[in-house]
Structures are given as structure tokens and as C-alpha cells.
Structure 1
């Protein structure tokens, strides 16, 4: 029978028996239970162990009086119950872990039997009593804890009793370099450089041993321990020495010394992390005496007094938060109180590098319970300590709005754990969930002012939430970019969510502009936001929660409707959609070199694809663009895009002063523009002249060629300014281009549009001065292409302006003949036959357009033509003479009633030309034209009775027989 000598509580950590006493270790009390035989009771039977645990005896309190005299001889009733499982003392290693253990033990044996090389001596002295001991190795910390919890771990800290990690690593490498040793452990080689080392040991199938990486201690940042890392057999190994820390009164940095396992365990962050696995003895060692007990209680507490533990290394605050959230353990009250201490917060901010802070936070948020980690951060008042820019003084730092932040993270936790629409579509994996928590962390900075550039013209710093994340927890660029995009696009996302929700609720409501719920609008928005759009939508959702507390359900409904609409349209992966056309194909179809314009143009193609998901033939799209199919949706989409976003920005500074923004004629009196050096600077006002932006002229040409009468009014205000700007330019080549483009435009312009906008007169006023661009004022090589483009433009302008008004059309044609052809012939010397050729070609066309009204011009035109055909100067060319003969035919044909009077002058020019070319080769064409002149003249004059044209011709032949061929 057991006699209770004193009431006590203990942990069944370790039991040592001696005689009839059972002494319990692992408790602070020195009390113990004695077992004494009692003669009045039969011997107690031996308690055996079941497969579920150890049977123990429990006092049956229901059968004991609470006022029982402790001196009574009545025996206590004992009830036999099942005890909790006994504390494990050994671990079952995986094959890889067992191979590593064997390797490390072999290395230890090698070290014990071979002296250390001089260059591996430690700067930290080894105590004499320790130096005599053999190498003892232990797996420490989290690996032991995770092993006891049945959690797989690939990170192993190896503690060495009398060597630094770097020393041991060098000896390990030395051992493996001995021929035949690698093969013992299924290995083949040791990494010879950094590139090989990065790949080595990545998996348990890797046959290469990674190189050693020494991480120096940095006591100023509470990084007290030098460690050496390596990778082998798919395991990340940290080699460290057992140590103790000795603090002096005049320094806050500890003096590192080799320590005992007990000393090393007591300086660790938590009791559950302070257990070792001795690979020499294959035993679990709990030197704090509370590791097993705290694991059973799911309790996080420090081995030593909490305040001093955190004071020594403030990073332990975040480590305990991570362990508590990951393991679902409770932090000891004393530790919690110390973690929230202002001194500890100050030390955490001052001493710990932000890289280490970020690493701990990342591990916590990537763990199974990130919400608990964030809750602890908030409840301990650590938000400002962690999420702040350390480079900014506290008094100058923006104060984040953390009111209601705990509710915000509670709401986020509900969303991410619900398995609903938002979680399934916005936080599909651990990475997106992690981003959600990071974005939630910066929501309190949502209203922070946007930083201004340090200097005018310089790029502004990133938004404060980005800086806080980048500098406060050292988020990598990838994460910082997501935060930047989320902050930048938050308003657009929120507005679009509202519009889509409104369209879904009220589909019959009229709207202005593009349909916000349309597939192309939403698809292009997603592509504009980028691949992180899901995280950006979460940020927008959280911002709305924070700004509208109490409306959580209504806001959530909006965003659910938004996501469901995206899913219904099948555009959640719009970012991955590839354009049917690539930049080179599009540039080739348009006829311009590739350039920066392609990116936005391809967005137009993508929007077209989104509107037409069934159109998947790339060649069909190319043909539509290449052939200027004006009715094609893709073509017109590109036209509208180019005019708005590509052409207009480059022409805006030199826009004409004769038209309004709506593409109408300005009817009020305008002062002439002020001419300054700046206004004459083409690099500023006319960037389309530079080689970099000259591509826009080809795009403008393609755009105008792609217009049709049905849609030209939609883009009229956009297409007119660049054409007039070109016509108004001082360089002839740009006037020529403007003239050609105007001709294309007028072919698609309805008369009503020209009349309504009043631009017919504006165009005429821009074109007519160009008629004077002739030699010698203008070089012939510049004048020729301008005149060739100018006259067709004036003719089509006349036809479009006055399709039914014969009087005004005639007046316009008269102007062209007088101010253009007659003026040009008068001022252009005969030694420019190419110019005359153009004038005569256009004269023939104009006379045919005038018809009988050409009569008024006979007395001016006939001498011109006769002079050219006679070629008194000998400068004429055959093409010029043919053009002159063609113009003479048009004059005869349209002014036939007056030909009886002027027949002699007509024949004069024709006969002189005929006689001059006799005997020359290659004159068949010209001779034919001259004969046609005679034939038309004969028809015209034979209608008059008093004229005998045949007799007159015979008389000419009688004088010069060579004329017989002309009159035949």
C-alpha cells in the first residue's frame, strides 16, 4: 500500500529509483514519495504497461472525506487508470537522416584520431577539460521538436561540443576528400564553385555535397553566433558550437564561449526548442527539464527569465510569435508581458536588422496560422515596431491608422479560411495567401500622402506603404512591386467593382462611354493590373473594409459579384492570353518599322480578341489590317487607338489655329501666332520629324487609308489637326505628305461633313499657296512631288465641296487654272520641262472638268501650248511635248465653238512640233498625239460652213510635204 507523505505536483519527465524511494527529477521541489510496506494490507500487485501507456494509481477522491485526519491509519483507496504515454527517449530517423548521422559520427572519429590543421584553430579558446573530451554531436532545436511532433523537417542544426561550426565543416570536407569516403554515403563529389554549390544537395537524390558558407556573427544586431551552412542529401545543415554568453557591465554585447549542453539549452528562445538529440548516444536530452512538459501543455515559454531573454536577443520576440502561430501553442503570460515591454520594442527596432525581422515574419505568415501571428503582433503593440521605415525618425514617421486593424485581419482570416468565392479565386495558394497578409499589413498606410520628387523632373519615391514593406521587413522586389501595383490601382479597382455591381443589379440603366461589364473592358483591366491582379483586388477589398467599418457584408457581396462575373466571362486568366499578332507582323501589315508604338497597338488587338473569343485565325487578322478593311472591327479599333494615343500626343504642340477641338473652322478673328525661338524649335513642337518618332507618319498614312465614309465622323476631330499641321509646315516634303493624306481623307469624306464643319475653305486656303512652290524659288526636286500631290487634292476637294453646285465648282476650277497652271507656266522658265509636263497634265484634267466653261481660258492657254509645241528654246522633252499635245486636245475638245477662230494658232504649234521631230526615232507616240489634235480640230471647225479645213491642210502640205503624215 502507498502512503502519501506530502502533496505535490510533478512532471513525469524522468524517474530514478533508489531502494524503496522514488525520487522525481524535473521538478523544483525536493519532495518525494516513499513506498513503505503496510502489514495490515496485502502486497500491492505489480502494475504492468499496456500498449497505450503506463498504468498509474489515482486517488479516488469520491471515497475520501475532505476532512479526513492525515494521521489516520485507514488506507487510501487506490484506483488503477491508464496513464499518458511515457516520455520518448529515442527518435526514429529516416534513411537520409541516418546516413547523415553515420557520416557525422565518422567525421567525429576522424577528428578525434587526427590532429587539427593549424589554419582551423579557433579564436575562441577551448577549456582544458573540454579539449580532452571526444567530439560529441547533437541535433538541436526545431528539428527535435518537429520530430517529436511528427513533422518532417529538412533543416538540421548540428551542435559540436568543442569545435566551431566552421572548424568542423573544414574537417568534414577534409574527410570526404579522402579517396573512397564519398562512396560510403552514396555521394559522388564536392561542389568546386558557387554555381555547383547552389545545385548541390538540393534533393535527397543529389550526389554532390554543397560548399561551406560561413555566416559571421554580428553582436551589434544581436546575431551573436557564427554559423556555417552546407547542403547535403537534400538537407540544409547548420554547424554551430555549444556556447554560453557572458555579459560584462560595460558592454551589451556578450562574450561568446564554449559551453556545456545545459548552458547552451538555457540560452535558447523557448523550452520546446531547447531539446537535443545526441547522435552519439541516440538519446533525447531535455536539459531545461521542461521541454517535454511544455510540449504536452502546448506552451511557449523561455528557459530563463523572459525579460532578460528578449533583452539579450529581441528577435526572440518574433520567433516566439512564429512558433506559437505555427504550432498552435500558447505563449506563457510572463513571456507575453515581457514581449510587450517598451524597452524590448525599442531594442527590437534598434538592434535587429530588418532582414532578420522580415525573415521571421515571412516564416510566420507562410505557416499554417498566419492570422494568429498577426493577432499577436497587434495585441502586443508591435505593429509600429515592425511595419515602419527605420530610416525615418519616429517623430517624423507617418502615423498609420491601426484603428480596427484587428477586425480587419479577423475578416481576412474568415475569407481565407471559408473556401468561398473570394478565397478560391483570389488566394488560390500559399503564395497568394501570403501576399494577402502582407497587403493587410500595409492597409493602415492607405491614406499616407504620396511622396514628392526630391528634385523637379525627378521620379517620385514609391508610396509609403511600399517603402514601409521594403525597408521595414525587407520585402523582395517582387513583393514590393505587388504592393506598389495594389496601391496604384486601388481606386480604379474599387470604381470598376462598383460599376460592374451596379450594371449587374440594374442592367437596363443607361451608361456613358464603354460598358464597364464588357469582356474586353474587364479583360484589358486585368492585363493592365498585371499577373498580381488577384492580390490587388484583395488589397482594394481590405481598404474598403477599413474605410467602411460596419459594411463588411455589403462590400463582400460586391466583390463576390465582381469575381463571379469575371469567371462567367472566362477572363480570370486574361494576363496569360497571347495576342494573335506579334509586333513584327502588325508592323509589317501597317507598313512601318517596329517601334515603341507596338505595345499599345497590340493592346488594341488584344481587346479585339477579348471581344471576339471565337476569332483565332492570325492570318485573317493580318489581312484585315494589311488591306485597310475599314469596316473591320480590328482595323477601326487600331485607327481610333492610333489617332488618340499615338498620333495626337506627337502633334499636339504644333496643332493648327484654324480649327476647334471639335474639328470645325474657327469663325472668329484670330491673332497670328507669336513667333519665338521656342515655337520654331522642331525638336520640341514637331517631334514627328525626329528619327525616333518618324514612325508616326507611316501610322498616320495607314490610319487615313483605313477610314470609310460611315465612320469618319467619329474620328474627324482627331484626324484633321495632324493633316493641317503637315500642310502648314515650312518643309516641302511635309506639305507634300499632308497633301497626299488630305486626298485620301477627302475620298472618304461626305459632303455634308465638310459643309457642317466648314473645313472646305480651310483646306483650300492651306493648299492654294502651295501652287507657288515652283522653280526657281523652290528646288525642282522638291517642287515636282508637291505639285503631283497638290493638283489631285484640289480637284477632289472641289468635287466633294460642290457636288451639285456647278457654279461654285467652276469658280474653284478657274482658280486652280489661273493661280496654279497659268501662274506656274508664266513664272517657270522653259528649262524646267518636268514642271511644265505636270502643269500640262493637270491642265488637261481641269479643262475636261470645266467642259464648255473652258472657253474663257482659251486666249491664255492656247499661246502657252503653242509656245511649248513650237519649242523655240530647244529645251523641250518628248514627255513634255506629249503632255502639251494632250492638253491641246482637251482645249479643242472642250472649247470647240471657238476653235474656228483659233485654228491657225493651234495648227501653228502642232505643225512646228511635227516638223521638228521628223527623222527622230521613238516619236511614234508624240506623232499620234499630234494627229489626234488635228483630228479633233477638224471635227470642231467642220461644223462651220465658211471653213474648208481640208483645203487649208492641202495648202500646208503643198508648202512642206513632210506635213502629209500629219494631215493623213
Structure 2
């Protein structure tokens, strides 16, 4: 029997993985031939016998590629009764993860292909556990998944097993959320939610209990034992629509908070991605009525402290980018109407907090890290656009940041950051224009634009074909034109203001100023 051969080979040692792959590949034609004979009634098996064979074969194939490890069968695991430290636990996880990936990487694609062949024509429902492994492969390649086409195969298998939207939603609610994910994420209590996933009216101060580390295979089986969990959770959020989330949101909460606050930066990054997608689908009314905004804020804000040099800049950029996205998305869900009691809207209060506790302190701490500054400027631009004219409250904080970035001598060496800073300046001119004319902002903006133009032109002379610098110069002119329009609203002529700055062509700084503001005097700006 085919299943006997597979069972024997999948029990073989890891060093025979290439042989396992060869056998699975060789068995694919046999599966197709057997399936054809079975459908025609020529294999001598009854319908029940054929169905049993399909189920057993599917289980063997799924077991061969299921990324679940066993802490009882590895010499690197601690002895019973001994609890490893979190550092030891992470080391054990790394070893087991490596062994697991090596064990089934070679057979992933052929096993999925075999599962697809079994499901394609024979209408047999397989064990839901098999579908959980299949779902895990629908995530994009990465981690333990290597082949892009595996995601398409997995999606096809799921469509064969769950062909209707009703079946998929039932599988998502009953199997994925309640039977699979809830037990995995229920080992650690979150003080802001109850055991049922709802907001806790009286948050508890939880501590590590019973001598079990927070980061262990006993408290976080989804992290150390079952590597399908994060991918399956990501899929659950991806396929759930607004109505489904409105009905089942408590079942998502433990996983959302656990992943977004995990000590592993990679898992935290995935958790923030998933959380942002979840928030975008969460009905505004339910989010507000259930008081969950504060719960999500408390989970995300600590990530904004992952700054250089304690956190490498490359990791900090990824984490803060996602954390700000989650918080800004959450703020967008709040009421825009001012409260009768305070005259301030909930959305404005949320955006205020992101600026005061996020953008401004992060910039003050890490202003020398230009890649991170780019992220901060991007988020600052989004917040200014959302706040509109109310952003004038923070001009004394926003404009100095932008002008410091724009006028930095080495800014042209990081054109991506400089470009974003100029975009944010345009957003400030658009939304905060009533407060720009006059002292001090108009003169400070003019000075920063001229300095930036000079720095870019000097750099451009040495690299005349660089498209980045050409675009930066275009943006500088665009910002200058925007400033001209803003000053006109106050009856101020930019041409008159800058005339003393361009009167002496023999002065190098005035020559550069003349280049930037040449549009005011009906002359095209010089190219270099």
C-alpha cells in the first residue's frame, strides 16, 4: 500500500530527507493512477476503503511537513522538573527550529502536491488539523516556508476542502479561533483583558506565577512548539471581514496582544502588522463602545521606545514604522466630533498623544539616525494631514524638526529622508497656513530652503545625472511656491521678502538663493 511506504519513509532519520523527497515525487504518478482507477471502480476497493486510504495518506503527508516540535524527544531539552532560563529557552527554540526546517524543507512542495492530488477529485473531508497545516503554507514565503508556489497549492487544497464561504467561516470560527488558537494563546494572562478576550474593567497586576518564565514552551507553545500558529493567525485576520470580526473579536484579542508585545523583535514585528490589519477591519462603533482603543494603545506604545543604540537602527526602523501605523490607524477610528465637555475630539486626543509620546521624543533621542528620522517624518506628515489646522498647536515642535533635517549639511547624502521632510513641510504649509506668515516661521523656512538648495546644488555638481537630486530640487521649488501662496494670504510678497537675499550675485549664498527663487523673477532656475 502507498500509505505503508510513506509511513515507513517518514519515520526514517533526518539524513535520508533527500531519499524521502525522491520517494514522494516518485509516488505522485502512483497516486494519480490509483485515483483514476478508484474513481472508475477498477482498484477493487469500496468507497469507504478508498476514503479511508485518502484520509490516512493525507495524515502522513501532513505530518511530514507540519512545523510542530516535540520537547520530549530532543536531547537539548531540559530534564523534567528543570525550568530553563529565557536565554536557554530561546537557544533550545533555535536548535529545534533549525532541526525542524532541515527535516521537512526538502519534502514540503511534493507533499503539498500530493495532498492537492488527493483532494482534487475525491470528495473526502480530511482532518481539520491537516487544514491548519495547509493554511500555514498560505502565508507568503519566509521563516520555514521556502517556495512561492506552495501558497497557491495550499489555497487550492483549502478551496477543495472548504468550497463555500459558509464552510470557510465555520472553519475559521470553530476550528481556527476556538479549537486551535485560543488554547495556544491562553497560557499568559493580559491585565487589560479578561479570559474571554473582553476589556477588563479593573486591570490586574499580573506577575510570573508558579515559577514558570513568561517566555517558555509551557507559556508560549505557539512560539516554541507549534510554528504554524503565527501564520495561521495572520491568515485568520486576513480572511475575516468586518462582520465576522464584529461577531468574534474577543477570540482574536489574546493573540493580537500577545504577538504585538512579544520579546522577540521578529514576532513583535509580525504582531504589529497583523494588529494594524485587524484594526482597519474593526467596526468603529464596536471599537469605541467596548473601550478597546486604550487596550491596543497600551500594547503598542512601548514599542516606540525601541530606539538606537539599544536597538539596532535597522530593527528600530521596522518596529517603529509598524507601531506608528497601528497607532495612526487606531486614531483614525476615533470620533472626530469635539466632546461637549472638553471641546476636543477623541481623534485629536489620540493624535496628540502620538506626537507627544511618540514622534517628538523619538526624534530628540535618535535625530542622528537618518533612516529612523525618515520614518518619523513620514508619520509626522500623516498626522499633520489628519489634524488639519489643529496641527498649528505643535508648530513650535514640528517646524524646528523639519528645518533641522532640511538644512542639515549632509542631508543630500540621504535623499530619501530629505525628500520626505520636504513633503511634510508641504503638508504643514497646506494645513497650518494661517500661522506661517510673519515672524518667526516665514524667515526660518526661507533660510532652510536656501541652505538646502545650496547643499543639493553643490552635491549635484559632482553627480549631475542623479535623479534623486533633480527631484529634490523640484521639491524645493515646489515648497518655495507653496510658501509664496501662503504669504499671499497675509498680503506678503515673497519676491519682496527675498529681494535683499538675491541682490548681489557676487555673494555665493545670494547666488544660490537667486537660483531657488528664480521663478519669482521670471527666470528658470539654473541646473547647477
TM-score over 0.5 (shorter chain): yes
Q: Equivalent residue for 1:695?
A: 228
Of 431, 456, 467, 1:894 maps to 431
Q: Secondary structure at the match of 1:768?
A: helix
Q: Equivalent residue for 1:101?
A: none
Shift of 1:852: 0.3
Tell me the alpha carbon deviations over residues 710-751 of structure 1, each in whole angstroms, 9 at most, x when there is no partner.
121332121111111122322332322222111111111112
Q: Secondary structure at the match of 1:800?
A: coil
The answer on 1:883 being equivalent to 2:420 is yes
Matches within 5 A, 1:7-46: none
Go from structure 1 to structure 2 and tell me whether the alpha carbon gap of 1:773 and 1:588 turns closer, same or farther (over 3 Å shift): closer
Q: Equivalent residue for 1:931?
A: 477
Shift of 1:594: 12
Q: Equivalent residue for 2:314?
A: 781
The answer on 1:909 being equivalent to 2:443 is no
Q: Equivalent residue for 2:251?
A: 718
Q: Equivalent residue for 2:183?
A: 649
Query: 8 Å contact 2:136–2:231 — kept in the other structure?
Result: no
Of 942, 953, 961, 2:498 maps to 953
Q: Secondary structure at the match of 1:710?
A: helix
The answer on 1:683 being equivalent to 2:217 is yes
Query: 8 Å contact 2:136–2:232 — kept in the other structure?
Result: no
Shift of 1:940: 0.6
Q: Equivalent residue for 1:193?
A: none
Q: Equivalent residue for 2:280?
A: 747
Go from structure 1 to structure 2 and tell me whether the alpha carbon gap of 1:619 and 1:693 turns closer, same or farther (over 3 Å shift): closer
Tell me the alpha carbon deviations over residues 619-646 of structure 1, each in whole angstroms, 9 at most, x when there is no partner.
8926989xxxxx9223323322111122
Structure 1: gaps (5+ residues): 1-427, 429-456, 458-575, 596-604, 606-616, 626-630
Go from structure 1 to structure 2 and tell me whether the alpha carbon gap of 1:587 and 1:907 turns closer, same or farther (over 3 Å shift): same
Query: 8 Å contact 2:406–2:421 — kept in the other structure?
Result: yes
Tell me the alpha carbon deviations over residues 143-179 of structure 1, each in whole angstroms, 9 at most, x when there is no partner.
xxxxxxxxxxxxxxxxxxxxxxxxxxxxxxxxxxxxx
Shift of 1:677: 5.0
CA distance in 2 between partners of 1:872 and 1:624 (Å): 60
Go from structure 1 to structure 2 and tell me whether the alpha carbon gap of 1:839 and 1:590 turns closer, same or farther (over 3 Å shift): closer
Go from structure 1 to structure 2 and tell me whether the alpha carbon gap of 1:652 and 1:861 turns closer, same or farther (over 3 Å shift): same
Tell me the alpha carbon deviations over residues 349-378 of structure 1, each in whole angstroms, 9 at most, x when there is no partner.
xxxxxxxxxxxxxxxxxxxxxxxxxxxxxx
CA distance in 2 between partners of 1:593 and 1:642 (Å): 21
Q: Equivalent residue for 1:388?
A: none
Q: Equivalent residue for 2:41?
A: none
CA distance in 1 between partners of 2:411 and 2:389 (Å): 33
Q: Equivalent residue for 1:67?
A: none
Shift of 1:798: 1.1
Tell me the alpha carbon deviations over residues 907-940 of structure 1, each in whole angstroms, 9 at most, x when there is no partner.
1111111100112432011112111211111111
Shift of 1:866: 1.0
CA distance in 2 between partners of 1:624 and 1:843 (Å): 44
CA distance in 2 between partners of 1:914 and 1:908 (Å): 10
Matches within 5 A, 1:473-872: 577-579=123-125, 588-589=137-138, 591=140, 621=159, 632-640=165-173, 641-674=175-208, 677-690=211-224, 692-805=225-338, 807-830=345-368, 832-872=369-409
Tell me the alpha carbon deviations over residues 833-857 of structure 1, each in whole angstroms, 9 at most, x when there is no partner.
1000000011111000000001011
Structure 2: gaps (5+ residues): 1-47, 49-79, 81-121, 145-153, 339-343, 505-509, 520-528
| Greater strand proportion | 1
Query: 8 Å contact 1:659–1:666 — kept in the other structure?
Result: yes
Shift of 1:824: 1.0
Tell me the alpha carbon deviations over residues 402-433 of structure 1, each in whole angstroms, 9 at most, x when there is no partner.
xxxxxxxxxxxxxxxxxxxxxxxxxx9xxxxx
| Greater helix proportion | 2
Go from structure 1 to structure 2 and tell me whether the alpha carbon gap of 1:774 and 1:590 turns closer, same or farther (over 3 Å shift): closer
Go from structure 1 to structure 2 and tell me whether the alpha carbon gap of 1:651 and 1:663 turns closer, same or farther (over 3 Å shift): closer
Tell me the alpha carbon deviations over residues 436-491 of structure 1, each in whole angstroms, 9 at most, x when there is no partner.
xxxxxxxxxxxxxxxxxxxxx9xxxxxxxxxxxxxxxxxxxxxxxxxxxxxxxxxx
Q: Secondary structure at the match of 1:712?
A: helix
CA distance in 2 between partners of 1:861 and 1:818 (Å): 11
Shift of 1:871: 0.9
Shift of 1:669: 4.8
Go from structure 1 to structure 2 and tell me whether the alpha carbon gap of 1:732 and 1:677 turns closer, same or farther (over 3 Å shift): farther
Query: 8 Å contact 2:333–2:347 — kept in the other structure?
Result: no
Query: 8 Å contact 1:930–1:966 — kept in the other structure?
Result: yes
CA distance in 1 between partners of 2:470 and 2:218 (Å): 55
Query: 8 Å contact 1:840–1:887 — kept in the other structure?
Result: yes
Query: 8 Å contact 1:957–1:963 — kept in the other structure?
Result: yes
CA distance in 2 between partners of 1:639 and 1:620 (Å): 12
Go from structure 1 to structure 2 and tell me whether the alpha carbon gap of 1:835 and 1:875 turns closer, same or farther (over 3 Å shift): farther
Q: Secondary structure at the match of 1:658?
A: coil
Shift of 1:900: 0.8
Go from structure 1 to structure 2 and tell me whether the alpha carbon gap of 1:962 and 1:885 turns closer, same or farther (over 3 Å shift): same
Q: Secondary structure at the match of 2:217?
A: helix
- Larger RCO, structure (CA 8 Å, separation 6 or more): 2
Matches within 5 A, 1:164-563: none
Aligned Cα root-mean-square deviation (Å): 3.1
Go from structure 1 to structure 2 and tell me whether the alpha carbon gap of 1:840 and 1:955 turns closer, same or farther (over 3 Å shift): same
Shift of 1:671: 2.7
Query: 8 Å contact 2:407–2:448 — kept in the other structure?
Result: yes
CA distance in 2 between partners of 1:634 and 1:940 (Å): 58
Query: 8 Å contact 1:771–1:824 — kept in the other structure?
Result: yes
Query: 8 Å contact 1:771–1:787 — kept in the other structure?
Result: yes
Go from structure 1 to structure 2 and tell me whether the alpha carbon gap of 1:587 and 1:671 turns closer, same or farther (over 3 Å shift): closer
Of 485, 490, 514, 1:964 maps to 514
